Amino acid sequence: QVQLVESGGGLVQAGGSLRLTCSVSGSMSSITTMGWNRQAPGKEREWVARITSDGRTYYADSVKGRFTISRGNDKNTVYLQMDSLKHEDAAVFYCYAAGRGLTYWGRGTQVTVSS
């Protein structure tokens, strides 16, 4: 089993920055990819970014150049640095870990972007 806990969400002004943290515990041996999705009110959950076990990163077009995904040295922590935040970035952000046909999810952290 893998457990994920997100933190770092909050209220930020448009143009500002936030860093989300995903702390992972449990058996990581099967995990090959970790990433972030988000879901805004009234919208479907959408993929944001992912990082593979060998460090390759991928981003949705909507966040490319503004968001950066990274891992801690212990590889049990994944970060999402969000810069130049826009109103449309407001959502609940969910961390996930995937491998061997399974995906584990955290409970999410709220990001609110104000004017």
- At residue 115 the predicted structure's pLDDT band, cuts being 50, 70 and 90, is confident
The predicted structure's pLDDT at residue 74: 80
- At residue 73 the predicted structure's pLDDT band, cuts being 50, 70 and 90, is confident
d(CA 10, CA 3) in angstroms, rounded, equals 22
d(CA 83, CA 16) in angstroms, rounded, equals 6
Give tens-digit pLDDT for 86-106: 999 999 999 999 999 999 999
The beta strands (E) that lie in 1-115 are given as 2-7, 10-13, 18-26, 33-39, 46-52, 57-59, 67-71, 77-82, 91-99, 102-105, 109-114
pLDDT at residue 28 is higher than 90: no
Q: Three-class SS of residue 90?
A: coil
Give tens-digit pLDDT for 6-23: 999 999 999 999 999 999
